Each structure stands twice: as structure tokens, then as C-alpha cells.
Amino acid sequence: MAGSPGRSAIIVASIALSISLFVALYSLDAFQQALGFPGALSTRSYQYWMMVVALTVSTVCVMNTMMIAVYERYREIGTMKCLGALDRHILMLFLSESIIEGFIGGLAGLAFGLSLTSIYIGITSGPGSLLRVPGDRILALSLGSVLLSVALTLGGALYPAYRASRLPPVEALRFEP
């Protein structure tokens, strides 16, 4: 089951953008160290702050979009409660949607971030240097970024999903957007 495709797209794009910054910085750092340069992150600590701010902003965006999605789906929630859905069914519905969105956003962000790094390294150090991929660090980064993406999306969805699950059925059914 899925909600409005537009809302899901906003959530995926928001999380993908911040994850791509995260991936780009970490993979750049890993490449530079593999090539014998001081890593971008080890020399410029403010970049950590940029990353934290980007990830926080995208989580807030997920939460905001999810609140609107819940609002738009009041009648749907009311109908499901009318058909016997328990609070936990509604909670699980919204949380599982957010996990899928977080996973897709994480993969997209990973692909975008790695592409940016590859282009930058290819231009600055020559295409040949791309062959010296720091495999283990990129693999760990790939897994970590998708997990982080799912965790942040899930975190942003918690409160809206809780609100949705607690809606009294009569109020949700009476609602007309």
C-alpha cells in the first residue's frame, strides 16, 4: 500500500539529497587518503557540520511531508479503522512506507554521491586514479548510508505515524479535505 506518489517523491528526494552529500564527503575523503592526500574530512572539520545540518534538515522535511500525508489521508485512516484496523495497523502502515522511502532515498543518494566523487577525482587526479578504489571503505560507506537513510526517514515518520494511529475514527471519517 502506498500514499500519495507526490508526497513519497518529496520524501525520497529530500533524504537522497542529504545522503548524497554525506556519501560524497566520505567517499572523497576515502579516495584522497587512498591516493596519498590528506582527506577532505580530516582537514576541514566544518564539513561535518554541513553534513549534520543537511541530514537534520532532511529529517525535518520528512516529518513535515509525512504530517501533510497523514492529514490528506484522514478519511482513509478513518475508513480503515471502521473496517477493524487497530492503532498498530495504521502505525505499521505509515512506518513501513517510510522504511521503503528511506531505502530508495538511501540508494539514490548513494549513487548520486559516489558519482559526484568519481567525477571530481577523475577531473582532479586523472581517470586512472579511479581504479584505486578504497573498496572496503566504500562498501562500509554504502551499507552505512542506506542504513542511515532508513533510520532518519523512520525517525522523521515516528511522530506523524503515531498521530495517525491515534486518530479517533469518527473524527477521521467526518473530515473533508
Partner 1 sequence: MSLDIIIELEDLAKYYTVGGEVIRALDGVNLQVGRGEYLSIVGPSGSGKTTLFNLIGGLDRPTRGRVYIDGVDISRLDAYELAWLRCRKIGYIFQTFNLIPVLTALENVALPTIFAGVPRDEGLRRAEKLLRSVGLGDRLHHRPSELSAGQQQRVAIARAMANDPAIILADEPTGNLDLNTGMEIISLLQGLNRTRGMTLISATHDLKMIKASDRVVYIRDGRIERIERG
Q: Which of residues 67-106 bind partner 1 (CB under 8 A)?
A: 75-76, 79-87, 89
Q: Is 10 in the site for partner 1 (CB under 8 A)?
A: no
> Residue 52 or 86: which CB sits closer to partner 1?
86
Q: Give 12-40 as a DSSP string.
A: HHHHHHHHHHHHHHHHHHHHHHHTTSPPH
The CB-of-172 to partner 1 minimum distance in angstroms stands at 10
Contact 30, 138 (CB under 8 A): yes
At its nearest, how many Å lie between partner 1 and the CB of residue 89?
6
Neighbours of 17 (CB within 10 A): 19
Residue 33, Cβ density class (10 Å: 0-12 exposed, 13-18 middle, ≥19 buried)? middle
Residue 110 CB-half CA count within 13 A: 19
Name which of 4 and 43 has its Cβ closer to partner 1: 4
Q: What CA–CA distance (Å, rounded) separates 95 from 22?
A: 24
What is the x/- site pattern for partner 1, positions 12-51, by CB under 8 A? ----------------------------------------
Which of the ranges 130-138, 144-152, 155-163, 165-173 carries the binding residues for partner 1, by CB under 8 A? Answer: 165-173
Question: Total number of residues binding partner 1 (CB under 8 A)?
Answer: 19
